Every structure is written in C-alpha cells, then in structure tokens.
Amino acid sequence: MVRERVEAAGFGPWTVKSGLLHVAPPVDLLARMLTIRIHLDPVPTTNAPLLIAPGSHLLGRVPEQDIDAAVARLGSFMCTAQAGDI
C-alpha cells in the first residue's frame, strides 16, 4: 500500500484493493527483497497455510492469467508452521 500515486519509472501497474492504493515494484527491486513471516498462531494444513510454487521467483513477475500454468509446471508446496516459527 502507498499513501499517494507518484509516477516512478518501473513501478506499476497501479491498482486499488479494498479501497487502498497499491503499486507493483520493479522486478529487480523484488529480487533484492527478503520477506520474513513470524507465526503468532499455529498454521496447520487446516489454517490457510502459505502455498508456494518452488522456483517461481526465477520467473519474475508472473501475470495473473499465467499463474495456473506456472504452478502446474513447478508444482506447489504448503508451508505449515508452529506458533513462534519464523
């Protein structure tokens, strides 16, 4: 989410989700980012675990219409966790 729309090279597309403004960063910026999940509650298979397609990060930004094909090709992995897992 961003506070206001400011045009910047490489950022886009712009969208509004639940009334909040969002913009996708450039792929090279995403490639340098690290995301950490801290689980406050247990996440068994019945509590909406994160699903990933191993290796999909090597594809760059995957258009929404191509996600199913990427998952079919790469497979999927369910990330379960215990409370306190990082």
Q: Are residues 61 and 85 in the same domain?
A: yes
Q: Are residues 40 and 29 in the same domain?
A: no
| Structure-token match 């990427």, residue found | 70
Question: What burial class does residue 66 get, using C-beta atoms within 10 Å of its C-beta: 0-12 exposed, 13-18 middle, 19+ buried?
Answer: exposed
Instruction: Give per-residue pLDDT as tens, 5-35.
Output: 999 999 998 999 899 999 989 988 988 989 8
pLDDT of residue 70: 97
Nearest to 30 by CA among 61, 62, 73: 61
pTM score above 0.75: no
Q: Are residues 1 and 29 in the same domain?
A: yes
How many domains are there within the chain? Answer: 2
Q: Are residues 20 and 1 in the same domain?
A: yes
Q: What is the largest CA-CA distance in the chain?
A: 41
Instruction: Give per-residue pLDDT as tens, 47-82.
Output: 999 999 999 988 988 888 999 999 999 999 999 999
Is there a cis peptide before residue 13, judged by omega within 30 degrees of 0?
yes
